[in-house]
Chain A
Amino acid sequence: MSASAELVALEGVTCGYGSEAVLVDVDVDVAKREFVGIVGPSGAGKTTVLRVIAGSMPPAHGRVRRRAGLRVAYVPQIETINWSFPVTVQECVLMARVSSRRLPWASRAERVAVSEVLARLGIEELRERHIRELSGGQQQRVFIARALLGEPELLLMDEPTSGVDVRLRHEVLHLLDDLNARGLAIVLTTHDLNGIATHLPRLVCLNRRVIATGSPAEVLSPEVLERTYGASMQVLEHGGMPVVVDSFEHRHEHLPGVPEGSAA
């Protein structure tokens, strides 16, 4: 990768919470216009990688090289949002302009910018609604709108499709695809190997360490997945794309008392 295209690079990063290391010797880089997915089991350190990239968590060892003046926006997991908090869509989106103005109320230019970003995401008419009164897809769009209002070059998203149905997953994926096509670099974490990860151009398989990095076709192999998840998986092919399935024959070995041939 050319140095001018690089937005951020983690080099040998080790960090954690308290005395426990969550990431060990991690190398990850993100270039302009890239769309990267970080996959791995729960506790693998996916969210921590995003925090290190965002700069909200300093590494204990290693270094983070960030392009000077890089604008990064972070969209948290939708499940972590306090939905009873009293904010309207407009108030929520305006949080992105936290440092640009001292006065509490929005300037005329800010109101126009909010309208434009909400219109771009198709939720302009919801600006006075409370965030809890929206559908799952609309809620996700509000937080993406907040991120976009800061005009970022790099968008970080933590589990954008966690706990959503298939239709909403498609909606979010298409939206992110569209933003990426317009030049926005995106890094997201996901548990969803078939629904999301296989559709991305580049994956990082993580389990405290980087196990593999490359295109889905390159990294979604039974060996890499076993090392990443600690579980046996098979990789099939459907329509030219990899499809990951659990290896059921190994599961029965761990179910004491289940007669052979019975449904688990």
Chain B
Amino acid sequence: MIDGLLAPFEFEFFRNGLAVATLAGGLCGLIGVYVVLKGMSYIGHGLSHAIFGGFAASALLGVNFLLGAGAWGVASALMINAVTRRRVIGSDAAIGVITTASFALGLALFAFFGGAGANFDAALFGSILGVGTEDVVAIAAVSLLAGTLIFLRYRALLFTTFDPEVADASGVNTARMDALLMLVLAGSILATMQVLGVTLIAAALVIPATVARMLTNSFSRMLWMAATIGVVCGFVGMNLSYHLDVQSGPTIVLVAATMFAAVFMVTGATGRRRTAALARRGVAPA
């Protein structure tokens, strides 16, 4: 049995894919905390679709995918941020308009010039077949950058996420913090797109953070818990993907969803027991 579990490690593509999926899980888990707490869960979904437009354009123009889609993603992220900060249009509407237009452009480009095929499917649903050493290096670099930024700007990012108005009045450049977060998010989506696929990145961003939120009431604990849950989902999901012969994106997301369901049930039962214990002691629950 052990031999069977270790068998895929003989293949370089699997080792690369596993490294990327594990790092992607941790990275998305970490960034997802801010995404979920800012009430922008839909942005992961939207931005990944927007980057698909850049993916299509760079594929057709023959430019480097990372460069083309990266520039496209960063531009979309900054546009969403700028529209949202004007407060006339809600963030959900801004995300909806900008990202779906970009996604539609990607589809139209493929329809006009051709290009649907293996790359198209891989971009949508993720694939580890094309993952090379350079992808591992890219996601390791983005993870290191994101981790460093979050570490160094932890206090300002927390204040901006929790209470932007008072953070602003306290001298925090909240516009810069929001833009920074959007850039890190765009970089993370770009780096993880190949393994997870644009349609499933949102789940990798949202589920680990949501599971961590159910397990703790502390922000600092939520951050490392979400990253750890993301790492576990990426590692387990990628291994299952190989053994079940299912695409990597859906498998990783299904592992995360299963974890969510389990924690949801356990914390629900714990909460009911706590309420019952308080009621028996005649104490009103908080």
- Residue numbers of A with Cβ under 8 A of B are 17-18, 51, 54-56, 72-76, 80-82, 85-88, 91-92, 94-99, 101-105, 130, 132-134, 150, 156
* CA–CA, A18 and B159, complex, Å: 26
* Contact present for B169 and A72 (CB under 8 Å): yes
How many residues on the B side are at the interface (Cβ–Cβ under 8 A)? 30
* CA–CA, A104 and B224, complex, Å: 13
* Contact present for B169 and A95 (CB under 8 Å): no
What does the 1/0 interface line of B230-259 toward A look like (CB < 8 Å)? 000000000000000000000000000000
Specify the chain B residue showing the minimal Cβ separation from A131: B217
Identify which of residues 164-207 in chain B touch chain A, using a CB-to-CB cut-off of 8 Å. Answer: 165-172
Minimal beta-carbon separation of A157 from chain B (angstroms):
11
Q: Which of chain A's residues have a CB closer than 8 A to the CB of B286?
A: 132-134
Minimal beta-carbon separation of B261 from chain A (angstroms):
20
Q: What 4 additional pairs, Cβ within 8 angstroms, besides A74-B169, A86-B218?
A: A74-B170, A87-B162, A95-B158, A95-B167
* CA–CA, A94 and B219, complex, Å: 12
Specify the chain B residue showing the minimal Cβ separation from A81: B163
Q: Known A95-B163, A101-B155, A133-B286; judge A54-B219 contact (CB<8 A).
A: no
Q: Which of chain A's residues have a CB closer than 8 A to the CB of B167?
A: 95, 98
Q: Which of chain B's residues have a CB closer than 8 A to the CB of A97?
A: 155
Q: Pick the residue among A17, A74, A82 that contacts B162 (CB under 8 A).
A: A82
Q: Which of chain A's residues have a CB closer than 8 A to the CB of B170?
A: 73-74, 95-96, 98-99, 150
Q: Which of chain A's residues have a CB closer than 8 A to the CB of B163?
A: 76, 81, 95
* CA–CA, A87 and B152, complex, Å: 19
Top-4 shortest CB links A-B: A130-B217, A104-B154, A54-B169, A133-B286
Q: Which of chain A's residues have a CB closer than 8 A to the CB of B161?
A: 85
* Contact present for A56 and B169 (CB under 8 Å): yes
* Contact present for A76 and B217 (CB under 8 Å): no
B151 at the interface (CB under 8 A from A): yes
* Contact present for A98 and B169 (CB under 8 Å): no
Specify the chain A residue showing the minimal Cβ separation from B216: A86
* Contact present for A98 and B155 (CB under 8 Å): yes
* Contact present for A98 and B156 (CB under 8 Å): yes
Q: Which of chain B's residues have a CB closer than 8 A to the CB of A105?
A: 220
* Contact present for A104 and B166 (CB under 8 Å): no
Q: Which of chain A's residues have a CB closer than 8 A to the CB of B217?
A: 86-88, 130, 132-133
